[in-house]
Amino acid sequence: MFSHRLRKLHQQRLNRIIRDRSSAQASRMFIEGREFINFASNDYLGLASHPEVVKAAKDSMEEFGFGSGASRLMGGGSVLHRRLEDAAARFKRTEAALLLNSGYAANTGILPAIVGEGDVLFSDELNHASIIDGCRLSRAETLVYRHRDVEHLSQLMEGQRGRRMIVATDTVFSMDGDIAPLKEIHRLCLAVNSSLPPEDSVLLYLDDAHGTGVLGNGKGALEHFGIEPEPWIIQMGTFSKAFGSYGAFVTGSKDAIEWIVNTARSFIFSTVIPASAAAAAAKAVEIVMNRPDLLRRLWENRTFLFDALKERGYDTGESETPIIPLKMESVEDALALSRHLQERGIYAPAIRPPTVKVPRVRITVTAAHSQEDVHTLLNSLGEVRR
Ligand X SMILES: *Cc1c(COP(=O)(O)O)cnc(C)c1O
Footprint on this chain of ligand X (rule: CB under 6 A): 102-104, 107, 128, 130, 170, 174, 207, 209-210, 238, 240, 248
Minimum separation from the CB atom of position 195 to ligand X (A): 31
Minimum separation from the CB atom of position 356 to ligand X (A): 13
Kindly tell me which of 110 and 203 has the beta carbon lying closer to ligand X. 110
Q: Which residues of 205-217 are buried (b: 16+ CB within 10 A; e: fewer)?
A: bbbbbbbbbbbbe
Minimum separation from the CB atom of position 129 to ligand X (A): 8
Sequence-distant (6+) residues with CB within 8 A of 13 are 331, 332, 335, 352
Minimum separation from the CB atom of position 151 to ligand X (A): 23
The values of phi and psi at residue 21, to 5°, are: -75, 155
Minimum separation from the CB atom of position 171 to ligand X (A): 8
- How far is the C-alpha of 52 from the C-alpha of 301, rounded, in Å? 23
Angle subtended by helix axes 51-64 and 275-290, to nearest 10: 150
Minimum separation from the CB atom of position 207 to ligand X (A): 5
- How far is the C-alpha of 218 from the C-alpha of 269, rounded, in Å? 31
CB 228, CB 182: distance < 8 Å: no
The DSSP line for 275-312 is: HHHHHHHHHHHHHHHH-HHHHHHHHHHHHHHHHHHHHT
Query: Is the Cα dihedral 123, 127, 131, 137 positive or negative?
Result: positive
Kindly tell me which of 98 and 381 has the beta carbon lying closer to ligand X. 98
Measured from each CB, the residue nearest to ligand X is: 103
Kindly tell me which of 103 and 229 has the beta carbon lying closer to ligand X. 103
CB atoms within 10 A of CB 148: 20
3-state helix, strand, coil in the chain (%, to 5): 45, 15, 40
Maximal CA-CA distance, the chain: 62
Kindly tell me which of 170 and 223 has the beta carbon lying closer to ligand X. 170
CB atoms within 10 A of CB 60: 22
Minimum separation from the CB atom of position 211 to ligand X (A): 9
Kindly tell me which of 44 and 192 has the beta carbon lying closer to ligand X. 44
Minimum separation from the CB atom of position 274 to ligand X (A): 15
Calculate the alpha carbon distances from 276 to 58, 120, 164 in Å.
7, 39, 39
Kindly tell me which of 94 and 102 has the beta carbon lying closer to ligand X. 102
Q: Extract long-range pairs of 257-263: CB within 8 Å, 24+ residues apart.
A: 257/95, 257/96, 257/97, 257/98, 258/96, 259/113, 259/114, 260/98, 260/109, 260/110, 260/113, 260/114, 261/73, 261/98, 263/113, 263/114
- How far is the C-alpha of 62 from the C-alpha of 249, rounded, in Å? 25
Minimum separation from the CB atom of position 308 to ligand X (A): 25
Minimum separation from the CB atom of position 128 to ligand X (A): 4
